[in-house]
Amino acid sequence: MRLEFISIEEANDLLNQLIENHPHAILVTNNDFKIKYFNKSFQKLARQEKYEILDKEFCELFGCTSHGKPVNSNSKFCNNCQMCKLLAGSSVSELDIIREFNIHNEVITKHFYFTTTRVVMNGKKLRIVVMEDRTSKH
């Protein structure tokens, strides 16, 4: 099937609708791990209002139970944190993880599968992250 659009606005509208109504949580983070965009599925998973999510660090909002416990004086992140490596744009582009997360001030064991893609928009490096919640499949 091939889609043809009359204008770029039409194509953008379709893409926005696909992302917004996707069953998996989708978010976009910048180099500082701050959330710049997210869909309804992510908002539902995070159990937060839009204003509570935008421009927050991913690990601050939806992090592991170790967030904020520095491992050294040079970094506020764990040296071996797989989430930080994923969001930092290292060679990691997929992550399957089962661990405790702090979601809306509640510690919950979750099984998440993450896939990421690096993009550049207006000269800014971003990460598109798709989160599949596989918790109920166990």
Q: Where are the domains of the chain?
A: 8-137
Q: Is 6 left (phi over 0), alpha (psi -120 to 50) or beta?
A: alpha
**pLDDT, average across residues 24-39:** 89
| Residues contacting 97, CB < 8 A, separation 6+ | 82, 83, 111, 112, 113, 114
**pLDDT, average across residues 39-61:** 89
Query: Which fold, 8-137?
Result: Beta-Lactamase (3.30.450)
**pTM, 2 dp:** 0.78
Greater confidence (105 vs 46) lies with: 46
Residue 134: pLDDT over 90: yes
Q: How far is CA 65 from CA 69, 74, 127, 136, in A?
A: 9, 20, 23, 20
- Per-residue pLDDT at 111: 92
Residue 55: pLDDT over 90: yes
Predicted confidence (pLDDT) per residue in 63-84, tens digit: 665 555 554 445 555 556 777 7
Average pLDDT, the chain: 80
Residue 125: pLDDT over 70: yes
Residue 58: pLDDT over 90: no
